[in-house]
Structure 1
């Protein structure tokens, strides 16, 4: 059930949420309403999974296991998970669902779904590809150890906790290499195009001068909570950990990939090319979309959506008086200097911050409930920006860290305004992921697995739906803002085509890049990074459009059913009220809400 909120749109190695804000008066009542056996089951599960997934516990503000890395590269660990999931599934199904209240029935359904999907996950051989160029422990360890992520560095104990994780990394790295080797024997390997990106990423951590190493950051400047008398000892310990644990492990991983793994990596682009890959992809599609849609159905939806949005783009092109076809219009928006007005990253960030100022007066018209958590816009860490997409990192539950909209800006002078900056803010920040995730984790009336859980089809579907609210929020007021919003939407429609195409053998990496560039104004570098992300995460990119289309379908359905009784603000509040859930469960709860409105 590895679907918990970590860092933005991309939550786990293959996969990111929201809900209603309880008042002080109603939260205790809601918690007490949970049936005792069901509530106890949820509490026990949450405690057990926190021990098994300590990095996720840290990200969720549970600091009890901050000195541990997950022992997730072994068969024994996978067997432990299977035993646990089966045990909870057996216990859950002993509870009479018909005797539960409506909210508990929803929790029952979500938990049952989670357990079934988690058991199915364990039948997949993805463990033979332990990490890739966009996710996995080697990169997340850098984010944690730099002192800018979820790992706290406030007290002496915090500093010692991190050393525990650093000391455990060599064992994890050795186990990962072993799993890569098992994948080589089975023919389940990553594409060469991804491996060549992973090698320099790992090499960037191989900085032998401790004071110049990323992991030295926390001891370069201590907080007030660490006594001066203890600081020299910590500095020495961090220098030793960098030199003896971290640098050698990253060096070993890089060398292994370059000399042993790369020669056996595959030339193919999609997961369908590996033994059993077709079934692996069907599972990934089901997990990402929370539907039973087939890859073929999703592919056809993608083609249809791309054509619909291209037609809308043609209308904008005519509106601005551009002479030439749509392809020429894309080239014009890619290369004309007026669309790249920035000189520094700060200028890019200032535009995103300005979106919030423009939409703030209209937010109360669309949302009755807003989160308490703070919010910031930040540039992505330099070591990640070459392969990173814009993302959202959730706020710490205790308020110690705000929600963060992370923006990669490898070269500010090449940052193009027609990529849809307004729409991207609405998706990743407000009212997209920040409202959704912060409201959900602030809702203490939900069991923990719902309060801190997520499903990409719901969460990314909400983010893409949030983009469609631009005109109602007071943005998209000129044609190029409109084309920017259409650019972001067609980008998600294109994903349905290229993701399925890549993983079912319809498209190569190069053909997918060309298809993307032919249907949106995107440069080669960004298109390549996007396509390689889909290669690394089969199916994940399908969640956005699938979820958005379902939310829009529900809104249209209730507008027709309720007529003058339809209240858009109430619809949005209810949509977020129960937190992230599979789309079928969401529709069931929303149908019940609509029935009450009548």
Structure 2
């Protein structure tokens, strides 16, 4: 997912938006009565940010910078962005917070915190590890060039824009190697097990015949209104770019990783072994959880949650009459043929679509406000399916692109129906990411930076909370699907233990894999991929459970405080109304909402 902008230097691009940025911003300021100085600051920030990070503009449907691909890991770029954040922090501090409306205070607090967090991150030199096996430009670039992602291929200019980005990618690739070498000198390197995954990712995009390249796909899909002359010219140009720029860049990256970097990679699993590793992890915990919780607090919470969910799993095991230990039950769920009913990928997709049909009547009782953005379930593209997870890619708020729930189905015969299909749909699709992101993007009363921001604890926390709504939505009537939901919840609880364990407590990759397999029905291959993800992106996996626990805590607090004045649909609407924000800002906002509800007459 998706994905995704106000984000840390390590984060994923997730968002998309309308092309009418400046007009919308000026209109919303006048209509909503926003503070003029604050509105101007946010407008300038947003416009300058799109120029600095043109891939974000493309994500957001703004095509002005579709030909640009800056070397965002260069010394010059890093200094420019550092100054950008510093200037904006100085500017926001010059505005009197106490004179602002409650809505503007939310925007102020969110923005100020983000500038401070971004500036803090430069001390850890994220550019020393330009990409890894889970995310980074070399992986994103294949999606963009496939013609099936956010890079548009509708006009001749679109095709010419992508030619320029392909050319710029060669410079980025050379810079990545330079930065990896700086990381080697500084002792900041990836674990060997991750580098071993990256090498085939680079090699998989090597071709001798340009026609066989993923990057040739747009040539096979020329719009009907293209002239023959343009088709011929662009075909020649794309073949040249693929063979002389794209393939050599991936080859160079793969060779470097294989012949030079792999030998320098570390055998340790956690970043605590790196210089400033302890401080680096504490920073990532703050970024991803948007809290001041310590790693030790999170670790203890994780162990408590694992124990609680295990007891629920035991109840399901007894309900279905399974004889044996919980681990035996896990093995049964993974191996029994009855749980592998599919022969075609279309059958899997049909079952996911059936989930939507089943929950739609109850959704109306839980949400007054729903998105206008359309929604689709699709199979993940073949070129990345083998190593991909299910994910949500946001739609465009102008309706030009639907929100898409991608499901990897490399082999339908191996797709396990008890793997938590219902909970997965609630998380990645509806009402999880699709509702939250779409409503945020569609809300023109928000400042643009709010409409297209992403906070893991808020967004992933919401999606995981939505999994807990399954019974209220009419799902989990099949005990095996409920077991799958418990497995998904357990998966997020385990993350609190293994992520902190890997990065602060000396837990090895192998110990973390075993802990995961001992506590949920997951294959060794699946557990390995997950643990290696946490090794690559320290702290990110904490955001899900920490956010979900906070949302559940708030709901239960208000249910108790408000009694018959508590309305679940209004709680959900209020939660989603102002877009993503840090959890402390969220709690302040929701407490104010609850106070207003308490004063309502019934």
CA 410–30 in structure 1, closer or farther in 2 if over 3 Å, else same: farther
Q: Distance in 2 between matches of 1:565 and 1:52?
A: 47
Q: Distance between the aligned counterparts of 2:576 and 2:32, measured in 1?
A: 21
Tell me how far apart the structure 2 counterparts of residues 436 and 353 of structure 1 sit (CA, whole Å): 19
Matched, 1:381 2:381: yes
Q: Which residue of 2 aligns with 1:43?
A: 43
Q: Given the superposition, is the C-alpha separation of residues 519 and 376 from structure 1 closer, same or farther in structure 2, using an over 3 Å criterion?
A: same
Tell me whether 1:73 sits opposite 2:65 in the alignment: no
Is the Cα–Cα contact under 8 Å of residues 373 and 395 in structure 1 kept in the other structure? Answer: yes
Deviation at residue 370 of structure 1 after TM alignment: 0.4
State how far apart, in whole Å, the 1-side matches of 2:446 and 2:138 are.
33
**1:193 aligned residue:** 193
Q: Secondary structure at the match of 2:472?
A: helix
1:117-152 CA-to-partner distances (Å, cap 9, x unmatched) read 110111112210000111000010000000000000
Comparing both chains, which one has the higher relative contact order based on Cα–Cα distances under 8 Å and sequence gaps of 6 or more?
1
Shift of 1:382: 2.0
SS of residue matched to 1:113: helix
Contact 2:3 2:12 in 1 (8 A): no
Which residue pairs with 1:21 in the alignment?
none
SS at the partner of 2:423?
helix
Moved over 2 A (4+): 4-8, 10-18, 27-32, 224-229
Name the counterpart of 1:230. Answer: 230
Show CA shifts across 1:492-517 (max 9, x none): 00000111111114311111111111
Please name the residue that 1:98 is paired with: 98
TM-superposed CA distance for 1:418, in Å, is 1.6
Q: Name structure 2 gaps, 5 residues minimum.
A: 16-23
CA distance in 1, matches of 2:55, 2:76: 19
- 1:550–1:212 distance in 2 versus 1, CA, 3 Å: same
Classify the secondary structure of the residue corresponding to 1:377: strand
Whole-angstrom distance in 2 between the partners of 1:486 and 1:179? 42
Q: Give the Cα–Cα distance (whole angstroms) in 2 for the partners of residues 546 and 72 of structure 1.
A: 31
Counterpart position of 2:425? 425
User: How many angstroms apart in 1 are the aligned matches of 2:403 and 2:58?
Assistant: 15
Matched, 1:82 2:97: no
Q: Mean Cα displacement is larger for which, 410-419 or 199-208?
A: 410-419
| 1:30 to 1:469, Cα distance in 2 relative to 1, 3 A | farther
- The alignment partner of 1:419 has SS state of coil
Q: 1:535-591: CA deviations, max 9, x gaps? A: 111000000000000000000000011000000000000000010000000000000
Q: Which residue of 2 aligns with 1:509?
A: 509
Paired position in structure 1 for 2:19? none
| Cα gap change, 1:230 to 1:247, in 2 (>3 Å) | same
Match of 2:471 in 1: 471
Contact conserved, 1:5 with 1:11, CA < 8 A, in 2? no
How far apart are the structure 2 equivalents of 1:389 and 1:497?
Answer: 21
Tell me if structure 2 keeps the 8 A contact 1:54–1:69.
yes
Measure, in 2, the Cα distance between the counterparts of 1:17 and 1:170. 24
What's the C-alpha RMSD, in Å, of the aligned pairs? 1.8
Q: Are the counterparts in 1 of residues 9 and 126 from structure 2 also a CA contact under 8 Å?
A: no
- Which 10-residue stretch deviates more, 405-414 or 49-58? 405-414
How many angstroms apart in 1 are the aligned matches of 2:109 and 2:2?
Answer: 20
Q: Is 1:137–2:132 an aligned residue pair?
A: no
Q: 2:538 — aligned with what?
A: 538
> What's 2:406 paired with?
406
Aligned to 2:315: 315
Aligned counterparts of 1:537 and 1:229: Cα–Cα separation in 2: 47
- 1:253 Cα deviation from its structure 2 partner: 0.3
Asked if structure 2 preserves the Cα contact closer than 8 Å seen for 1:454 and 1:580, the reply is yes
1:572 paired residue number: 572
Q: Is the 8 A contact 2:9 2:118 kept in 1?
A: no
Count of residue pairs brought into register by the alignment: 588
- 1:30 is displaced (CA, Å) by 7.4
Aligned to 1:149: 149
Compared with structure 1, are the counterparts of its residues 59 and 168 closer, same or farther at alpha carbon in structure 2 (3 Å cutoff)? same
Q: Secondary structure at the match of 1:73?
A: coil
Question: SS where residue 370 of structure 2 aligns?
Answer: coil
Indicate conservation of the 8 Å contact 1:5/1:59, yes or no.
Answer: no
Q: What residue in structure 1 maps to residue 172 of structure 2?
A: 172
**1:28–1:48 CA distance, 2 compared to 1 (3 A):** closer
Can you list the C-alpha shifts for 1:447-482, whole angstroms capped at 9, x where unaligned? 111000010000000000000111111110121111
Distance of 1:16 and 1:105 partners within structure 2: 26
How far 1:371 sits from its partner (Å)?
0.4
Shift of 1:386: 2.5
Question: CA offsets per residue over residues 391-421 of structure 1, 9 Å max, x none?
Answer: 1100023211100111112222121112100
Q: CA deviation at 1:31?
A: 4.5
Report what 1:209 is aligned to: 209
Match of 2:21 in 1: none
For residues 110-125 of structure 1, what are the structure 2 equivalents within 5 Å? 110-125=110-125
The farther-off stretch of 160-169 and 392-401 is 392-401
> SS at 1:130's partner residue?
coil
Match of 1:183? 183
Secondary structure of the residue that 1:404 maps to in structure 2?
Answer: strand
Question: Following the alignment from structure 1 to structure 2, what is the Cα–Cα distance between the partners of residues 428 and 299?
Answer: 25
Alignment of 1:186-585 (within 5 A): 186-585=186-585
Correspondence for 2:593: 593
Answer yes or no: is the 8 Å Cα contact 2:513–2:524 preserved in 1.
Answer: yes
Does the 8 Å CA contact 1:110/1:581 hold for their aligned counterparts? yes
Alpha-carbon offset, residue 211 of structure 1? 0.4
- Aligned residue for 1:473, secondary structure, equals coil
Distance (Å, rounded) in 2 between the aligned partners of 1:182 and 1:399 = 44
CA separation of 1:368 and 1:16: change in aligned 2, threshold 3 A: farther
**Contact map agreement 2:156 2:226 (CA 8 A) in 1:** yes
Aligned counterparts of 2:103 and 2:397: Cα–Cα separation in 1 = 23
Range with greater deviation from structure 2 (137-146 or 333-342)? 333-342
Deviations along 1:249-280, one digit per CA (max 9) or x if unpaired, are 00000000000000111111111111111111
Contact 2:14 2:393 in 1 (8 A): no
Give the alignment's TM-score, normalised by structure 2.
Answer: 0.95
